[in-house]
Amino acid sequence: MIELVRPILERPYFYELYHSLIGANYRSRVLVKEYIRPKSTDRVLDIGCGPGNMLPFLPKCDYTGVDVNPSYIDSARQRYGDRGTFVCERVSHHNVEQLGAFDIVLALGLVHHLDDAEARDLFRLGYTALKPGGRLITNDGCYSAGQSALERYLLSRDRGQFVRNQSRYLELAHSWFTQVIPHLRQDVLRVPYTHFIMECVR
């Protein structure tokens, strides 16, 4: 069943519907209020922005969203084009430097889609894109002690094939960031799911 859902989620409408059903809007509010903590003067880069589903929860700011899925970017431009800039391409070191320096970089639900080499490259890109004192915020599914069989099953069937435990995520983040503030949350979705949030400070 889960294997059938994965390709459907590539379509923006079903992606948004799925997020609504599992309570992802509440998760987004928690992320913004407690961890992202953006100001209207901030420059925000959202790597893997999807159809722009974080933008409604952010204050008006200088926002740039990047995603490789053209359907997601088309949907984001139609809905939120007046509030941000959306770019359909894979983020690279070269185009990050072209975009300039940011106060906040978001990589939400992204690291667990990347193998170790790709994840280290993401942290390098995040570090490169940030102003001194800026923060990279990540949020990913996480294995931890005491999880139920159902929760571990849901994590194992995630679209991302590289769900890790806390120590592995931290090891990857520390490949570029000295200061990493970890947070473990199990209370932000309607389904049993553990999130590991990292604030990586340049």
Split at pLDDT 50, 70, 90, the class of 96 is confident
- Tell whether the model's pLDDT for residue 164 goes beyond 50: yes
pLDDT tens figures, 176-196: 999 999 999 999 998 899 999
CATH number of domain containing 178 = 3.40.50.150
Tokens of 6: 């994965």
Contacts of 66 (CB under 8 A, 6+ apart): 45, 46, 47, 48, 49, 86, 87, 88, 89, 91
The answer to whether 164 and 143 are in contact (CB under 8 A) is yes
Q: How confident is the model at residue 139 (pLDDT cuts 50, 70, 90)?
A: very high
Residue whose token pair is 């941000």: 84
Is the pLDDT at 1 greater than 50? The verdict is no
CB atoms within 10 A of CB 6: 11
Give pTM, 2 decimals.
0.88
pLDDT at 108: 97
The residue range of the domain holding 19 is: 2-201
Dump pLDDT digits (tens) for 40-67.
999 999 999 999 999 999 999 999 999 9
Domain count, the chain: 1
- Tell me: pLDDT of 94 over 90: no
Is 172 in contact with 166 (CB distance < 8 Å)? no
Beta strand pairing call for 43-47 and 130-143: unpaired
